[in-house]
Amino acid sequence: MLRVRVPLTGGSVDRSYDVVVGYGAINQLESLVPDGTKRIAVVTQEGIPSGWALPTFDVETYFIGRGESSKSLATIETLTRGFAEQGITRHDLIVGVGGGMVTDVAGFAAASWHRGTPVVHVATTMLGMVDAAIGGKTGVNLPEGKNLVGAYWQPSGVVCDLSALSTLPPRETRCGLGEMAKYNFLTGDDLLSMDLEQRIARCIEIKVEIVAADEREGGRRALLNYGHTLAHALEIASGYQLAHGEAVAIGLIYAAELAFELGRVEQARVDEHRRVVGEEYGLMATPPAGVDIDELVRLMRRDKKALNGLTFALDGPDGVEVVNDVDEVAVRTALARFVQ
Ligand SMILES: NC(=O)c1ccc[n+]([C@@H]2O[C@H](COP(=O)([O-])OP(=O)(O)OC[C@H]3O[C@@H](n4cnc5c(N)ncnc54)[C@H](O)[C@@H]3O)[C@@H](O)[C@H]2O)c1
Ligand SMILES: [Zn+2]
């Protein structure tokens, strides 16, 4: 079992917390419950591994719907009305048990309930463990767009019990691996030499280090969007047939191709991206046939991170960094090499 300490000492109060990673980590959940908690509201979904208990607390379980359409203000209203009935106060605890969708919803419910009630995340997907449950971003969707309503709200602790991953559908595993592959390029760490427990713990540390460098989106946090500029465009262009993590895998290779096109990296680094994504993680490394380059370029220009023209996180002599105003000709040339 590994414990990653997330240091959050920036404000007037020390909000540092622990992430427990390992098989059976759920047994450490009680150690993350803040002192003084009496009632616990567990937010989860049908089909997510349960079978653990917190017998010394007044626990109610709230099941929310699956899929992005349930990541909504309507769900927040239903949940918080439940909290009212249960008598949850801001000295109690919300526990989100699930993938990123659940922890985003539970986190936002906690951020708004009595203007801020502690939350502990129990991440049960690989993406949740290495990404969504860490970093304090919470929120819900509107019909107008994803994650438009939200808040920064740091958890009091996070559990990543690797046993939960055994029931994860293969596609969800692939999505988590796409996001995990990204971390292989953000530092010099040899993540592939580590076992799964160490690797997940290290991915969490890397995310935490980057997020700590600027807690609100700004400079370094954008590095976590490595591979994401093309990924977002591919998700939309495929009518969401490609899931986020699958699109990220392709986006990582494209980012390397584009960095090569711009003279920022050697061919060997592109080959390394292909090997890590395609062979080590076994992910699809080329876009689906028939995607249209003009449409991808148009979508990438509209990306919410693209304040200055075409913006990418790109590898280079100093590692991955954010590059604004990338030359459209290079973007198209790298795409043309890549798209069939
Ligand atoms: N807050 C952040 O920083 C952040 C970062 C990345 C993604 N996200 C959000 O995370 C969400 C995606 O998260 P996700 O990929 O974990 O998907 P998800 O939460 O939608 O879960 C995918 C499916 O797997 C099921 N599931 C979860 N754990 C399971 C388990 N152990 N066994 C069997 N089934 C299980 C869920 O019920 C769901 O049907 C998106 O809403 C995205 O916006 C947030
Ligand atoms: Zn992502």
187, part of any domain = no
CATH code (residue 318): 1.20.1090.10
Atom of ligand 1 nearest to the CA of 104: 1
- Residues 23, 119: one domain? yes
| 140, 76 Cβ separation under 8 angstroms | yes
Calculate how far, in angstroms, residue 127's C-alpha sits from the geometric centre of ligand 2. Answer: 8
Encode pLDDT of 32-90 as tens digits.
999 999 999 999 999 999 888 999 999 999 999 999 999 999 999 999 999 999 999 99
194, part of any domain = no
124 lines ligand 1 (CB under 6 A): yes
225 lines ligand 1 (CB under 6 A): no
203, part of any domain = no
Report the C-alpha gap between 100 and 96 in whole angstroms: 9
Report the C-alpha gap between 223 and 21 in whole angstroms: 24
Domain end position, chosen among 167, 199, 232: 167
209, part of any domain = no
User: Whose C-alpha lies nearest to ligand 1, atom 10?
Assistant: 100
* Tokens, residue 313: 């996180």
* Tokens, residue 278: 């395609």
How many structural domains does the chain have?
A: 2
176, part of any domain = no
- Residues 123, 235: one domain? no
Atom of ligand 1 nearest to the CA of 165: 31
Domain end position, chosen among 134, 149, 167: 167
49 lines ligand 1 (CB under 6 A): yes
pTM of the model: 0.94
- Residues 260, 140: one domain? no
CA distance readout (Å), 309 to 202, 297, 324: 33, 11, 7
Q: Which ligand is nearest to the CA of 178?
A: 2
- Burial of 148 from C-beta contacts in 10 A (0-12 / 13-18 / 19+): exposed
Residue with tokens 């526990």: 95
Strands 119-123 and 93-98: parallel
- Residues 157, 279: one domain? no
Lowest mean pLDDT among 15-29, 127-141, 293-307: 293-307
Encode pLDDT of 320-333 as tens digits.
999 999 999 999 99
Encode pLDDT of 137-185 as tens digits.
999 999 988 899 999 999 999 999 999 999 999 999 999 999 999 999 9
183, part of any domain = no
Answer positive or negative: Cα dihedral of 110, 178, 165, 47.
positive
- Residues 153, 268: one domain? no
- Residues 227, 78: one domain? no
96 lines ligand 1 (CB under 6 A): no
Report the C-alpha gap between 29 and 32 in whole angstroms: 5
207, part of any domain = no
Domain ranges, residue 244: 219-338
Q: Which of 156, 304, 135, 316 lies closest to 210 in space, CA to CA?
A: 135
